[in-house]
Each structure stands twice: as C-alpha cells, then as structure tokens.
Amino acid sequence: ALWLVNSESEDWLPEIDVVENIGQEPNNLYFVVHWKDGKGVQKRDYLTYTGKEAFHEHFHTYGMIWDEDKISWTLDGEVVFETTAFSPDVPLFLYMNTAIGGIWPGAPEPGNVNEEFLIDYVRVYQDRGEE
C-alpha cells in the first residue's frame, strides 16, 4: 500500500490510499479516500480497478493528484479515478508499507503472501500557483 494519513491528530482520518493491492486479489487495485463528515460519520469514495494480469508481475507507476476540490488517481500515467466527494485540507504524511492481514482484507491464504515490495522512486510535487 501507498497511503497518506493525518499528521495533525491521533485520528487516522482523513486518509488517501494512493494504491492498495492484496494477495488474494492480485489483479485488483484499490484507490480510496476516507474521511468523517460533519456529524463524525465515516465516509469513503473509491474505485476497485481490475487489470488483465496480476499487478505484481511488472513495475507500474502509481500517482495521485490532490487538489483543493478534487483527487485524481493515476496508473502508468493515465487517470483511472477522480472524486470531488472530499479532498482533505490538512497535512498528511506518506506511508509505504507491506501489511499482511488485518481487519481488511483479513488473514491471507496460506502460501499466498508476496513478501517483496520494490519501489524504484518516489516523487512529490507541489503546485506553487506560479504562472
């Protein structure tokens, strides 16, 4: 998973999942934003993207464009999902990890654990509004 989480409070929300991929579903990617509404109810908007082959078979580039009123997710340079449902206005920090099991997606199937997560590079850009 590549994800951004709240860096200003102990509450884990808001969260933006740049990409998630689980062993039981190697052809699926998850692009998600999680938040709480004004009443404290947890919300999310997401896309489950299904590829023709397992994503761990080849290198891919995963991206996310975080604007004031929209979040866009990219796969190999192409936008695959956008939402205007929510866009955080607080600083978030980046996690890059290989998590195994948990509440979601549950315990992995025996023998179905890819223990390697190779990252070639990470780039972060900020639009300064200059023209």
Residue-wise pLDDT for 69-115, tens only, equals: 999 999 999 999 999 999 999 999 999 987 777 777 777 777 666 66
Query: Does the global pTM surpass 0.75?
Result: yes
What's residue 61's pLDDT?
Answer: 97
Buried b / exposed e along 84-99 (16+ C-beta atoms within 10 A)? eebbbeeebeeeeeee
What's residue 112's pLDDT?
Answer: 61
What's residue 108's pLDDT?
Answer: 74
pLDDT band of 41, cuts 50, 70, 90: very high
